Structure 1
């Protein structure tokens, strides 16, 4: 219930400050002045949008910023309230300046860039991470961290990752089965060179993730494409490859939200793939690149959580959870010999990871900051997904086919008519808008769709970019 608070603000569309930040700052000022007190309820986003005569999504973005910064707290089915414990205004301003500096310093080649699903660095817990990093240097015995550590990564950090995988993703692993890497791509490279020999084959999804393919080919493996439909990879293609009697060592899959199409591998096909893996003795390399951001009731558990699966490699990352610049990934496997090989190779190319950064992230996990951030960020990205879907419906519904995924930071759209993507991409570039064309996902030339990442774009950029795309399809 609203407790006698009337929101008054003059929005300045000519200001350098975004509208949603103007709204956020006005609410902070009312909290600071005492007009809003701890526990007070705010009006619903629809009411605020009507009051201010602006798009509701702008209000939602403002409220999400305040939730992430700690000024507001959402309560399920009750609304949004002023937090009981408020952050420092000075720290908020300092963090905003830091993020502005980071965003301004980034080299931007395009006015709008539809990436393949990057997170929004504006909401990352960068200030908390920086504080944790500084604190590491003030603890007793800090000198112990300055020497060489284990090539698999800090043991305590690996234990925490193992606990997260076991409790949240249904796996049964331990720190001995985990290697911390500098991002998921390094994990992919290490596994490729420890699993494949020249002339081995690896099955890959088509369309799929080309940087992984490059790692496999660099290790001497040959690629066998497997088609993807609305239920994920097509098992009949897997069976056909197995019958070819080629030396197939593994299959690389993204079953939770297939990259790039976002479809989820059905349970029936999961069980069939596991059966084939066990019978034909090939490993399943599972890339769970954005497990954390799931908008449904519960995320689908990984293939690697099935106890009957005899040989798996599970790859994950912290980069999407915190920020892309944070290069911390990990791999887990139930093959102890393979993990030892990974450690030996890691030691040759990179003696160890960043122990201090691992400790800083570990501190955020133990303090509950990562858990709270994921919860807030999930709501934030769900709002962006819904906004993107509404824009597609408004401007492109008669020209494309698309489905709304239950999570992630991107949508897959397929035009109803044949499109010359190279020509269209060049035309958009002249408007300073970038898209990722199908050749970036495709093993051949038959892929017709494109992946639209919405996570890192604001409302204005999303609408402008989609309108421009609609005008050219």
Structure 2
């Protein structure tokens, strides 16, 4: 889309202008005015059209890239993400809340986005060029497999076996444009319209949106220091026979970051098998474990015959702008997912998939993961130390063994009031209400720190301390 984009900015929203622009764009996406794949104008052109500073538009675009509404393609521009299912767009009563960006400092704790500056861009560019020039790509005159490029599925199968202990037949893997598409397809495969999926609460709103788009009801279940409460799940399954699937994030529960222990994982598998319900395991951030023994996914020990769909993402390992997710599922479910995918998106990005397969085979992805772990662990430790030094008595947290975020619990104050004060001082926060489905909002923040360097982390904690509403 090269022409200027007319946006209706709601003056009644208040808060940063960044947020108002981002909300206007998401509103136009959800109501169908901006279609998946539509090109947005450059930041300079849109800033001129709206009469605002170019940096303001750039910040709004960066927010929507982080949230997955947009995707950036080098040397081409910024586009509406391709992996937003049409059902989600049509049924959304309102856009998923967009995290605010602070107007003055431009600092934001995200929901856990990686640092795009760490992307191995030279290795990726070489691999992408090789893919474009390969005889196989140039000779391909027909559409590819709806499951994705075979070379990437084969490389992922080896990667999952080595890194996560998951035995994966490439024929049972599906490549999607991000984990969001994979979650939507998973729900379509295991649920009929009117059936219900149980989810963690607090939890992941974008997953709930994908499940609703697939026609499912969503029921929240409580979590504690060990993740999803199995007693609550079993009680819900007895009470409501419409529950036919369970969505979990056992490795790093979203948003609280807690890990589900081995005993509870086995309980979850046993309950699911006994009640005949499917499991959708979202293993985001698995690569980012900084200490302790590796925790294998549920998919690595699921009993034979249990309908379990394992979802992961390469976007969190590289950059939100690189939209590649995947799902591993039993053959009947995988076939349904592929059929649904072909109906909304005939195939994926074959050159990009081939390039990522090359990065895995050549070891570039593994080297990048090791480098990123060192950087992110140092940033986690710096943030934890500063929080302890400056917020003692005002907020508490448990240091997670991995992941790209901390869950900061407020001590006796409203997270909403604190977030508003911090926003006025130049720092955007994600308060607990964003992650609440039906129950009361947790008085806490999810502090995604990975995209901030050391100086930005120190500045963000200083603003947190100064803006405490007490």
TM-score band by shorter chain is 0.7 to 0.9
User: Alpha-carbon deviations, 1:376-414, whole Å to 9, x = none?
Assistant: 111111101100111111111221110111111100010
2:333 equivalent to 1:354: no
Unpaired runs of 5+ residues, structure 2, are 1-73, 79-99
User: Alpha-carbon deviations, 1:77-98, whole Å to 9, x = none?
Assistant: xxxxxxxxxxxxxxxxxxxxx9
1:205-354 equivalences under 5 Å are 205-308=200-303, 310-333=306-329, 335-354=330-349
Normalised by the size of structure 1, how large is the TM-score?
0.75
Give the superposition deviation at 1:246: 2.2
Give the superposition deviation at 1:145: 4.1
CA distance in 1: counterparts of 2:261 and 2:129, whole angstroms: 45
Give the superposition deviation at 1:438: 1.2
Normalised by the size of structure 2, how large is the TM-score?
0.75
Shift in CA distance, 430/394, structure 1 to aligned 2, threshold 3 Å: same
The equivalent residue for 1:153 is 148
Farther-moved stretch of structure 1 (145-154 vs 266-275)? 145-154
Give the one of 432, 437, 448 matched to 2:426: 432
Unpaired runs of 5+ residues, structure 1, are 1-97
Shift in CA distance, 108/259, structure 1 to aligned 2, threshold 3 Å: closer
Shift in CA distance, 139/172, structure 1 to aligned 2, threshold 3 Å: closer
Give the superposition deviation at 1:201: 1.3
CA distance in 1: counterparts of 2:192 and 2:102, whole angstroms: 39
User: Alpha-carbon deviations, 1:102-135, whole Å to 9, x = none?
Assistant: 9xxxx97641011011111111101211121112
Give the superposition deviation at 1:461: 1.4
CA distance in 2: counterparts of 1:242 and 1:138, whole angstroms: 53
- Report SS of the residue matched to 2:219: strand
2:411 equivalent to 1:377: no
CA distance in 1: counterparts of 2:186 and 2:146, whole angstroms: 15
CA distance in 2: counterparts of 1:364 and 1:145, whole angstroms: 22
CA distance in 1: counterparts of 2:136 and 2:235, whole angstroms: 58
CA distance in 1: counterparts of 2:205 and 2:445, whole angstroms: 14
Q: How many residues align?
A: 369
2:131 equivalent to 1:136: yes
- Report SS of the residue matched to 1:285: strand
CA distance in 2: counterparts of 1:412 and 1:464, whole angstroms: 19
Contact 1:436 1:450 in 2 (8 A): yes
Contact 1:126 1:322 in 2 (8 A): no
Shift in CA distance, 200/272, structure 1 to aligned 2, threshold 3 Å: same
CA distance in 1: counterparts of 2:102 and 2:409, whole angstroms: 26
Shift in CA distance, 396/145, structure 1 to aligned 2, threshold 3 Å: farther
2:406 equivalent to 1:411: yes
Shift in CA distance, 198/138, structure 1 to aligned 2, threshold 3 Å: closer
Give the superposition deviation at 1:172: 2.1
Contact 1:291 1:299 in 2 (8 A): no
Give the superposition deviation at 1:431: 2.2
CA distance in 1: counterparts of 2:138 and 2:223, whole angstroms: 51
CA distance in 1: counterparts of 2:171 and 2:198, whole angstroms: 28
2:466 equivalent to 1:468: no
The equivalent residue for 2:188 is 193
The equivalent residue for 1:397 is 392
Contact 1:438 1:448 in 2 (8 A): yes
Shift in CA distance, 141/254, structure 1 to aligned 2, threshold 3 Å: closer
The equivalent residue for 1:452 is 447
Give the superposition deviation at 1:303: 0.6
Shift in CA distance, 145/120, structure 1 to aligned 2, threshold 3 Å: farther
Contact 1:113 1:434 in 2 (8 A): yes
Give the one of 172, 178, 183 matched to 2:178: 183
Give the superposition deviation at 1:324: 1.2
Contact 2:248 2:281 in 1 (8 A): yes
Contact 2:101 2:428 in 1 (8 A): no
User: Alpha-carbon deviations, 1:250-286, whole Å to 9, x = none?
Assistant: 1100000100000001211111110011100001100
- Report SS of the residue matched to 1:451: strand
Q: CA RMSD in A?
A: 2.0
